[in-house]
Structure 1
Amino acid sequence: MSPLENEKINGVSFVASREFVKDAHIAPIVNIHANYAAVMPFGFVQELQDPKVVYNKNRQWFGETRVGAKQYIEALQKKNIKIMMKPQIWVRKGEFTGYIKMKNEADWKLLEESYATFILDYAALAEETKAEILCIGTELEQFVVNRPDFWKQLIVEIRKVYKGKLTYAANWDEFKRTPFWSDLDFIGMDAYFPISEEKTPTIEACIEGWKPHVATIKSFSETYKKPILFTEFGYRSVDYSGKEPWRSDRSMTSVNLEAQTNTTKALLQTFWKEDWFAGGFIWKWFHNHQEVGGETNNRFTPQNKPVEKVIKEVYKAF
């Protein structure tokens, strides 16, 4: 059923940095038995009502630009890591991309032109570098819901440029309303589903918490006859990590490595064995492995935390 026969996508979301990527930066990815990396160049909008996507500018970090994305892809491919190209939008001050919404028709048209230029440029790069997957957007619900015809036509235009597999990264509470799954190769989800109210959830409680979501997710796969891809998945190493897994704000200051480990174990145990499930990309993985994560870090990265070993074991098994 998966377009990539029998091979699970054991992915990392490879964060763009200021630097060129070297073999030493990629060795830790190989070490956890990952076979895919999401490369994530960025475009920027000034505010939620601004129709202009700005990208490839001098002020951006190297890895966020087209040149940087190409260098990252080639360095990863040298180590036999396959690629999902995942261009993303950043709204100034970190506002949620799902709320990007124009006030009038003229602005909608400008946004459509600007976004199409941005994504088609990266579609061309994905084709040039023979990236296996292209993600055509990430968590853009209001844009998608308000302009479905634009997105349908955009997919047609992308397929003229790029011959690989396509997905879209719908937020966990958005995918039911995404209107173009039948036009793509994977149903993509950023899998931040709430699964437990506990401070330190047990694996069993998390598996139980997944059950209603799994039923819905599986039914989508069956309806559209497409495999499910977790375009992002992961948990912070904080108290209540399974309650609102999408929260990245700085107000959560506790460190709870066990909560991160248990929530992640439950997700991997629930999904990786299913034949309708294609795999996923852990959020998130930094190039400078020795300097990030660790046992005092409460962010998403699994690096240098107990959960890294859990991911390694499952990625090795699949």
Structure 2
Amino acid sequence: MRTIFKVTLCLLMSSCAMSSFKPEKINGVSFVASRDAINEKHIKPVIAIHANYAAIMPFGFIKELTHPNIQFNTNRQWFGETEAGVKQYVERLKKHAIKIMIKPQIWVWHGEFTGGIKMNSEEDWKLLEESYSKFILENAKVAEAVKAEIFCIGTELESFIDYRPNYWKQLIVEIKKVYKGKLTYAANWNEYDRTPFWNDLDFIGIDAYFPVSDEKTPTLEVLRLGWKAHKPTIKAFYETYKKPILFTEYGYRSVDFSGKAPWKSNLSMNVVNLEAQANATQVLFETFWEEDWFAGGFLWKWFHNYSEVGGVNDSQFTPQNKPVEAIIKAQYLKY
């Protein structure tokens, strides 16, 4: 009788454990590069919201959308944007069991959108390909050296990919020779459905700035309806490619109409609306984090100097020191 009781108790405990089990998600932050090295003070706030991943973003720079030469890893850049900075950031974060995605990015001087990078001649296309290969392969070698769990091969480069798809297929072959971890690409929200190389990567990466509401302060219900226009298509890509969906960036500004065109960083949008940011973030979590085909995402964006950024008067993307931070912390704790 005692044996039967023990077996029954074990089965009940096992059932309870299984019913409360949630698979681990990538609960990430996009950790913005700075002028400085980072230390424990800068990492504690990341741990406090239960983040388990950080995207580290070395930068390359080009003069204009038609210029083929990428400058990177120079002494004129901020420390966190360079190879030495990437290694230092990763070392510190990994000491706290925070996993890493290295996500090299291009900045066009004057802040023009990288998706518009497009050369005027075959000669310049070749020069751009040579320059980008050098930029991305050197960063892939760094990713392998620091044992980064994920490497992102590019961010929002839709015209470059549209015009030179064969180059990208070959670039992935070359990346795999030097980096052995998981690969993704950060496609813009209106680009991922024509990105031609998902079969060659491990995650379908999307910068998830989907328009979800035209209202100044959208309610939860309005935002839920807004996602119904996008979620089936996103899920269909998982079903087609059998690759998990990863939001390589997600987030909302704390401004009026934050769900209307979430990609905008226009400084003229400056009317602070903390409720709009909180509602939009909560519904994004509701819509995706429970899905087994969804890998997780990287919050845009997180600064190292926690006590000096964000706050209730800030209209930008960061959730730091705003009501939405509590929503993020609670969600990340679940997984």
**Does TM, normalized by the shorter one, top 0.5?**
yes
- Partner-residue secondary structure (3-state), 1:204: helix
Q: How far 1:266 moved relative to its partner?
A: 0.4
Residues 5-32 of structure 1, C-alpha deviations (whole Å, 9 max, x = no match): 9320000000000000001100000000
Amino acid at match of 1:262: N
User: Distance in 2 between the 1:165 and 1:113 partners?
Assistant: 23
Deviations 1:61-108 (A, max 9, x none): 000101101100111001110000000000000000000000010000
Report the secondary structure of 2:187's partner residue.
Answer: strand
The residue aligned with 2:7 is none
CA distance in 2 between partners of 1:36 and 1:203 (Å): 27
1:81-160 correspondence to structure 2 within 5 Å: 81-160=98-177
What's the Cα RMSD here?
0.8
C-alpha separation between the residues in 2 aligned to 1:249 and 1:56? 28
Among 262, 268, 282, the alignment partner of 1:251 is 268
Equivalents in 2 of 1:27, 1:253: separation in Å? 29
1:237 aligned onto 2:235: no
CA distance in 2, matches of 1:182, 1:275: 19
Residue identity in the other structure for 2:73: N
1:271 match: 288
Measure, in 1, the Cα distance between the counterparts of 2:23 and 2:285.
Answer: 17
Cα distance in 1 for residues equivalent to 2:200 and 2:334: 32
User: Which one-letter code corresponds to 1:168 in the other structure?
Assistant: Y
In structure 2, runs of 5+ residues without a counterpart are 1-21
Q: Which amino acid aligns with 2:141?
A: A
Amino acid at match of 2:155: T
User: Which of structure 1's runs of 4+ aligned residues deviate more than 3 A?
Assistant: none
In the other structure, the counterpart of 2:79 is 62
Q: Please tell me the residue identity of whatever aligns with 1:30.
A: I
Normalised by the length of structure 2, the TM-score is 0.93
- SS of match in other structure, 2:218: coil
Could you say what secondary structure the match of 1:212 adopts? Answer: coil
Distance, in Å, in 2 between the alignment partners of 1:271 and 1:145 is 28
Residues 265-305 of structure 1 deviation map (CA, whole Å, 9 limit, x = unaligned): 00011000000000000000000000000000000000000
SS in 1 for 2:313: coil
2:230 to 210, 213, 224: 213
Q: Which amino acid aligns with 1:106?
A: E
In the alignment, what sits opposite 1:288? Answer: 305
**TM-score scaled by length of structure 1:** 0.98
Alignment match of 2:204 (pick from 187, 196, 208): 187
1:221-275 C-alpha deviation (Å, 9 max, x unpaired): 0000100000000000000000000000101010000000000000011000000
Q: Count matched residues.
A: 314
**Unaligned 5+ runs, structure 1:** none
SS of equivalent to 2:228:
helix
Asked if residue 315 in structure 1 is aligned to residue 332 in structure 2, the reply is yes
1:196 correspondence with 2:196: no
Supply the distance in 1 between the matched residues of 2:61 and 2:54 (Cα, whole angstroms).
Answer: 22
Deviation at 1:210, TM superposition (A): 0.2
Instruction: For 1:57 and 1:129, locate their aligned partners in 2 and report how far apart those are by CA, in whole Å.
Output: 20
Q: Distance in 2 between matches of 1:269 and 1:176?
A: 23
AA aligned to 1:84 is: M
Q: 1:6 and 1:145 mapped to 2: Cα distance?
A: 35
Aligned position for 1:171? 188
CA shift for structure 1 position 58: 1.0
Residue 60 of structure 2, aligned match among 43, 54, 64: 43
Q: Please give the secondary structure, in 2, of the residue aligned with 1:176.
A: helix
Output the amino acid matched with 2:102: M
The whole-number CA distance in structure 2 between the counterparts of 1:221 and 1:44 is 33
CA distance in 1: counterparts of 2:131 and 2:88, whole angstroms: 24
2-side partners of 1:144 and 1:79: how far apart?
36
| Counterpart residue identity of residue 164, structure 1 | G
Partner secondary structure for residue 209 of structure 1: helix
